[in-house]
Structure 1
Amino acid sequence: MLPQVFTFAKVPDTARSSIYNAIKEGKSRFGMWDQEVSLREQYHGANGFLLNIKPGDWIVHVNLPAYGQCVAVQVCGEYDFDQGVECAWGRDFCNYLTVDPSTLIEFSRNDTNVLPSVNLRPMRRGQRVLNVADFLTSIENLKTSRYNDITPSLRSIIHLRERVNQDVLPRLTQAIQEMNKGKDFEIFLHEVFMQMPHTVSVKNGFGWRTDHGADLLVDFQNPIGGVTLSTRLVVQAKSYSGAHHDLNAVDQIVEGMEKYNADGGLLITTGQATETLENYAAEKSEACGRTIDLIAGPEVGRFVLRHAPHLLIGNDFT
């Protein structure tokens, strides 16, 4: 189960230093409310959420130690109450959670390592961060300085691209597989190849004939200085779910390259490529002296989006 994440905000300038130092000493403080005793003695609706914060949860102090900065720290104890800290208006910030200073991370609220989906502009003094998974990803990014070299203006783009790679493309490939089983996947890929310029795709082995290891024969015609050079590719199409362990498709490609005098081979599988599959394709490629490439898993979705997006988006086929 994912931890909870809370933001604490709206600390006056005169109290920032005291609250910041308290965090480094192991106490994440919350206050600025008319409260004289512990919530365990007298429930106070405005601060009652503090009782729900448990060890393992995270607290992010926004605009601390200065405006635009954040301090994230992990909770290691239950809610408690003490005399707080001395402020310009008297004793305050008496509510606290015991935290682990070794987990403390300081960063800019607009740091490129922080996903834009993480709300670090709370409207209340205490507020839940709903997108916990993205927050945890942001923490790992900060720890490893993953995107430190990225220009801040590209922050949303880099995280959008990562979301597409990690979430959208796998789901797109899954949808392609679910809607295209067996020969249907070959027909689907034929339509994709036919959208590429200077490319001719031939559906091979349909009906009673054997395909001799080639589901599709794809000729790429490259005009250079009035002369057209052609490259022939043997394509094996596999509509798989889960990991792709079967090596027979690679053997079929080798057979197809020999039969049709092809320049190379390509295995397109909706399954996840395994190390065994990749190594076997490399071994056979070296043995026959022709390149055997692999498009697998999420890369299938990327391949279709790049070359035939209209097959996925819109309501026409023109």
Structure 2
Amino acid sequence: MSIYALRVDIAKEVYNSLKDEGVARFTWSYSKEGNLKEIESKIKKFGWENLTEIEKDCWKANFMLSIKEKDYIVYINVPEYGECTVAKVTGEYFWNWEKYKSDGSHCLLIDKESIRTFNRNDKNIPSDLTRRFGLQGKYWRIYLEDKFYNLLQDIDDKKITGELASSESRLFNCINEKINPYLESICEELQHYHVGKYLEELIVKVLGEIPEIKNISRKSGISDKGGDILFDYENTDVFGNYSQKKCAIQVKSYEGIINYDQAIKDMKNIFEYDDSLDLGIIMTTATSIGEEFNEKLEELNKELLEKKKEKSVTILYGKDFARWVLKYGEKFFNR
């Protein structure tokens, strides 16, 4: 059994297809040329170089061909921001452009009875599992199978209550749909005005507005050890036990799609250099992530898990980076 986390931009449509049709959908499928099985056959017969540019782009979703019956998929921020929807797969990949004629035509059959929706920030979800429900690209694997199964049981036992919900978070969700269409443009403007070291300076300023974050330090010069920004953050578990965690941020000022994996190599070096780190974050103004980058990030997290370390690396980019700046940097907009 494998668990796949998916990020889609058509949350409502995907959620309706799950609930009403028993069909899980994924994007990178904006053209009728996007049938992964046909593209796979064409590659085997004629080679990669004979694909059209559209076919090459749609092939980024080829991981869908690896998803099998009894695997699980988890949609991040579906149906609403901060929520996750999980479903069990009952049938292998199929192409359904004829029905949808739009992005979201990569499909899998799922068991409608298996659908569960929960708040990823619920206080009763283990923090390492919550972290894996944070955005890390367009798709990634979740390897904490035992904790995932326990989560499904806890949902059925009504132990996952969404208790962290507040008037602030409900307001955020209320206006999120109106703000979302502008977030990518905001990220592009952040890139325009904050190239290189200026992006690091902005992130440090915003981090300073988050009460739980302490001891922020920014490295100067070029180094592959220690990260661009270091800080400690306070953590309290469900039993009220307090601890202080350490995080490293690698900053990448970038335009468009990021497929260059130097940030991941840097993160690997950072964890090897400083074993006291608990979390790594790649923060970038890139508006999308390439397939190769996504695979390298997944490999790094799997490697950290195999070393039995409660450590992980996540990425904040595009719309979610802009949302983060807007949320915590609000005081700077009122000057």
- Normalising by structure 2, we get a TM-score of 0.43
Between structure 1 and structure 2, the one with the greater Rg is 1
- Normalising by structure 1, we get a TM-score of 0.45
